[in-house]
Chains A and B, each alone.
Chain A
């Protein structure tokens, strides 16, 4: 199919010569792709059906569902959690009243890294950047009065996913909700921790093995649950560009798929349960095109490379958050506008769920007031702007389609390059990925220094400012409260049962068995996060990062 009039090339050449050549400087996208001053039908190459098709049909460029937002808008999440389970639970209940239909749990760093709140080395970090969870008792309180069969929950947890997943199942049991009915996601994307987010504990091989344990467990016992949400988000936040964001996220996801298939899981049962967690930064059209390209690439990888037969396996489902690193500490109200533009790119990119950063996150974790503005940003886009009235409204834009094609080529080339040098695990262990991202992060800083990249308030249009008055502050009673709760949980449990279940967990880990059943038993006995992680560290050891990356 050709849309072009044979005379068009000639006419365009004349127009370009008269108006553009030597007169305007061509731009590049944020990831460095050259942008032409004007796009025309000459830039649309290929066949509509092959490249775009209809929404809900292969290769899903236009969306994974036929009706997209016509039948249901995206899930609006707000990532939150602070202090202890009690405060966070109260806050979640308020969010649900405000119209939030999915919770997204932020854990504090000690929980994410497998420490208990009474460990003196890390007690200064308890309840700082998320909620502190030490044992099932905290998780019960976190979801008190929140019916797990009605609200879906996304957990930003990676290294200790088996423990958090087991706790969620155990809370369901206490609420009378069978595990088959639980919905939500654990992030569980351990590979990206080693090169972008830093919350790793164990060496790569046992860490991957434990992820496999969670898939297996979910496929049998928690079938509606999404056990892994592959994160381009954090990769991007570390300094990667849009091409690396998708290429590395896909390489991680492909490692998980291969891992699952090696364990004998059916790819068509596992692949539909993978979702992605991505981001949008400020280059609006590049971000829209990136999501569209990602859908097409993922569909082709699953169908052509892995031979998945179930169309649900081919569908690239994604959640996106607005870009944390695009927030500025300067003139924080401007972040509301950044959040709006980035959200719009995510929505026009066809997301399944969205979370908007708050204006104050350049300084501290959000206040409830800032969180409400972020939620309203999504609601205004969904309910007032009219962008949901038709599916994939930017399709057919000469620019967007051309950029979608170019991004597809560059992402595929990067995936091929990493596979040719031995794959993702090797490229993380030898620091190659870390070096590649650091190079982009340095380029970003240099471009800000030189003024090539404008960030308002940072290197352009600065004003004298007073510090923002109202920020989230950490209550120093948090540590004491949490330590007291932990002490109470420890006195009221049956210590013999704790010791027995921890012994079973150690044995399961030593034998290379699936640790999920043993973890669930230990969780039910109120063993703590620190105790269970301690057992696993003894068996598996810990990871040290490669430092020759500069």
Chain B
């Protein structure tokens, strides 16, 4: 069977309109051969979870610059679990104080990028694709 590419949803939950990072990552992952859906701005948490499940993505990459990264990530991970979609991994990028990395990992976030360079982000997704045998 032909391998299918890693499928990613880049999501902007909540009200913040900073989408430069989300768009740049979307584009860079597309360039790296992955199948990427971008949610657009102002997504409710629930719509984002529905989108991730409907699109059957491997990873939901959240972009958060609103300061609410811990509570929103927690809620999204819970909602995914409630829908039996705990196999969808969640990553977080954006303006994330280093002090919050550990807490995000603890609640089940697979990886936190914060202000990591684009090449690091792409390399991480490529490694995940390999692991999942895509």
A176 within 8 A of B: no
Chain A residue at minimum C-beta to C-beta distance from B69: A124
CA distance A398 to B4 in the complex (A): 58
CA distance A474 to B97 in the complex (A): 12
Q: Which of A363, A365, A442 is within 8 Å of B24, CB to CB?
A: A442
B95 within 8 A of A: yes
Cβ < 8 Å to A, chain B residues 49-70: 66-68
Count A interface residues, CB 8 Å.
Answer: 43
* Residues B67 and A128 in contact, CB atoms below 8 Å apart: yes
Stretch from A8-16, A105-113, A210-218, A519-527 forming part of the interface with B: A105-113
* A190 CB to nearest B CB, Å: 12
Q: Which of A125, A445, A471, A550 is within 8 Å of B99, CB to CB?
A: A471
* B10 CB to nearest A CB, Å: 10
A535 within 8 A of B: no
* Residues B115 and A441 in contact, CB atoms below 8 Å apart: no
Q: Given A128-B67, A364-B97, A449-B117, verify A198-B17 contact (CB < 8 Å).
A: yes
A222 within 8 A of B: no
* B109 CB to nearest A CB, Å: 16
* Residues A113 and B42 in contact, CB atoms below 8 Å apart: yes
* A482 CB to nearest B CB, Å: 15
* B77 CB to nearest A CB, Å: 14
Cβ < 8 Å to B, chain A residues 526-550: 544-545, 547, 549-550
Q: Which of B41, B44, B71 is within 8 Å of A121, CB to CB?
A: B44
Q: Given A445-B28, A449-B119, verify A125-B14 contact (CB < 8 Å).
A: yes
* B48 CB to nearest A CB, Å: 12
Cβ < 8 Å to B, chain A residues 468-484: 468, 471, 474
* Residues A128 and B20 in contact, CB atoms below 8 Å apart: no
B19 within 8 A of A: yes
Main secondary structure of the interface of A (DSSP, over half): loop
A423 within 8 A of B: no
Q: Which of B23, B42, B97, B117 is within 8 Å of A467, CB to CB?
A: B97
Chain B residue at minimum C-beta to C-beta distance from A126: B68
Q: Which of B18, B27, B72, B95 is within 8 Å of A550, CB to CB?
A: B27
CA distance A200 to B17 in the complex (A): 9
* Residues B67 and A474 in contact, CB atoms below 8 Å apart: yes
A128: B residues at CB distance < 8 A: 66-68
A485 within 8 A of B: no
Q: Which of B15, B27, B114 is within 8 Å of A109, CB to CB?
A: B15
Chain A residue at minimum C-beta to C-beta distance from B72: A124
* Residues B20 and A197 in contact, CB atoms below 8 Å apart: no
* Residues A364 and B67 in contact, CB atoms below 8 Å apart: yes
Q: Given A364-B67, A364-B95, A445-B24, verify A109-B14 contact (CB < 8 Å).
A: yes
Count B interface residues, CB 8 Å.
Answer: 33
A116 within 8 A of B: no
A200: B residues at CB distance < 8 A: 17
Cβ < 8 Å to B, chain A residues 317-362: 325, 328-329, 362
CA distance A158 to B95 in the complex (A): 23
* A84 CB to nearest B CB, Å: 15
B40: A residues at CB distance < 8 A: 544-545, 547
Cβ < 8 Å to A, chain B residues 24-49: 24, 26-28, 30, 38, 40-42, 44-45
B115: A residues at CB distance < 8 A: 328-329, 362
A237: B residues at CB distance < 8 A: 20
Q: Given A198-B16, A363-B95, A364-B95, verify A438-B23 contact (CB < 8 Å).
A: yes
CA distance A544 to B42 in the complex (A): 10
A67 within 8 A of B: no
Q: Given A113-B15, A467-B98, verify A445-B118 contact (CB < 8 Å).
A: yes
* Residues B117 and A448 in contact, CB atoms below 8 Å apart: yes
Q: Which of B17, B27, B99, B114 is within 8 Å of A199, CB to CB?
A: B17
Chain B residue at minimum C-beta to C-beta distance from A476: B71
B38: A residues at CB distance < 8 A: 547, 550
B41: A residues at CB distance < 8 A: 198, 545
A458 within 8 A of B: yes
Chain A residue at minimum C-beta to C-beta distance from B101: A467
Q: Which of B27, B114, B119 is within 8 Å of A329, CB to CB?
A: B114
* Residues B98 and A438 in contact, CB atoms below 8 Å apart: no
A448: B residues at CB distance < 8 A: 117-118
* A433 CB to nearest B CB, Å: 13
A238 within 8 A of B: yes
Question: CB-defined interface of B92-117 with A at 8 Å, one 1/0 digit per residue?
Answer: 00010111000000000000001101
* B40 CB to nearest A CB, Å: 5
Q: Given A128-B67, A329-B115, A442-B28, verify A110-B15 contact (CB < 8 Å).
A: yes
Chain B residue at minimum C-beta to C-beta distance from A547: B40
Would you mind naming 19 contact pairs between A and B with Cβ atoms under 8 Å apart? A109-B16, A110-B15, A121-B44, A124-B14, A124-B68, A128-B68, A129-B66, A193-B17, A237-B20, A238-B20, A239-B20, A365-B67, A445-B117, A467-B97, A471-B99, A547-B38, A550-B23, A550-B26, A550-B38
Given contacts A467-B99, A547-B38, A549-B23, 16 further A-B contacts (CB under 8 A): A109-B16, A122-B15, A124-B71, A125-B67, A128-B67, A197-B18, A198-B41, A238-B20, A325-B20, A442-B27, A445-B117, A449-B119, A459-B117, A468-B98, A471-B97, A471-B99
